[in-house]
Amino acid sequence: MLVMAAASLSVTTMRSLDRADELALIERARRRDFDAFGRLVDAYQHRVFGFAKRFVKDREEAADITQEVFVRAFQNFDRFDARAPLRTWLFRIAYNLCVDKARRHERQPIEYRIDGNVEGEEPIDVMDDRWNPETMVLDDELLQLVETGIANMSEKLRSVLLLHDREDLQYDEIAEVLNVPIGTVKSRLFLARAHLKQVLSEYLEAKR
């Protein structure tokens, strides 16, 4: 029954839930209430799919990952600590599945050398300028360059950039998803943005 329910998932408009409603639905889902589970899927599948699609760059694979995320969530609700946001847990499952998928494809990221700060546990001040191509005025060529730049980052940098700039997760939530210190999150975000800045600078310089 669970497989059939998961197989019918479609990416629809997200229906937001307040905290009280979410907790009530989680408790019902733990008792194998499929209606409650379906409402949680409606609330979060759009964001999970969007993250997966930008990570693996393939719509069908992203749909498969999204389905697997909710199958695993349903099967393991008894292990979820409801004191934490549900979205954090779902993104952690999605991230692990995306990394596994990328590694099976043996994808080799293209890294640009960035001098200065390197990844570590010491916090780095990161300006809150989010890379969101949908809200930027870009021509098609430059938009594709941004998306390609994101796709060619290492998994570590790409995941932080997507979770922060596209999914609006806070530093502590991203640290929970990736199981790394907050300082590491900030360092990776700094490097990811520097990577994109360098890609765009080289493009604009060549256009002169």
CATH, residue 175: 1.10.10.10
Whether 151 is in a domain gets the answer yes
Domain termination site, one of 66, 83, 104: 104
Is the same domain home to 92 and 154?
Answer: no
Query: Does residue 186 lie in a domain region?
Result: yes
Better-scored residue on pLDDT, 128 or 17: 17
Q: Are 190 and 129 in contact (CB under 8 A)?
A: no
The answer, yes or no, to whether residue 151 has pLDDT greater than 90, is no
Residues sharing a CB contact under 8 Å with residue 56, sequence separation 6 or more, in sequence order? 62, 65, 98, 101, 102
Last residue in a domain, options 66, 84, 104: 104
Instruction: Identify whether 113 is part of a domain.
Output: no
Is the same domain home to 6 and 100?
yes
Long-range CB pairs of 79-84 (<8 Å, 24+ gap) are 80/26, 82/23, 82/26, 82/27, 84/176
Q: How many domains, the chain?
A: 2
* 155-180: pLDDT as tens digits: 899 999 999 988 999 999 999 999 99
Amino acid at 76: N
Q: Is residue 115 part of a domain?
A: no
Q: How far is residue 69's CA from residue 169's CA, in Å, rounded to a whole number? A: 18
In 10 A of CB 50, how many CB atoms? Answer: 17
For residue 117, being part of any structural domain is answered with: no
Q: How far apart, in Å, are the Cα atoms of 94 and each of 36, 106, 167?
A: 21, 18, 13
**186's tokens:** 């900030």
Residue 177 sits in which domain range?
133-207
Q: With respect to residue 109, please indicate whether it lies within any of the assigned structural domains.
A: no
Share of the chain above pLDDT 90, in %: 44
pTM for the whole structure = 0.71
Q: Given pLDDT bands bounded at 50, 70 and 90, which one contains residue 3?
A: very low
Distances (CA, A) of 136 to 139, 163, 208: 9, 18, 21
The answer to the question of residue 30 being in a domain is yes
The alpha carbon dihedral of 40, 98, 147, 204 has a sign of positive
Of all residues in the chain, what percent carry a pLDDT higher than 70? Answer: 75
Which helix (DSSP H) or strand (DSSP E) does residue 49 occupy? helix 34-56
3-state secondary structure of 158: helix
1 — pLDDT class (breaks 50, 70, 90):
very low
Q: Which of 91, 92, 74, 86 is nearest to 23 (CA)?
A: 86
Give the pLDDT band of residue 118 (cuts 50, 70, 90): very low
CATH number at residue 29: 1.10.1740.10
Do 100 and 153 lie in one domain? The reply is no
The pLDDT tens digits of the residues spanning 8-54 come to: 444 444 456 888 999 999 999 988 899 999 999 999 999 999 999 98
Query: 34 and 128 in contact (C-beta within 8 Å)?
Result: no
65, 101 contact by CB (below 8 A) = yes
Residue 125 belongs to a domain: no
Residues 16 and 58 in one domain: yes
Are 80 and 26 spatial neighbours (Cβ–Cβ below 8 Å)? yes
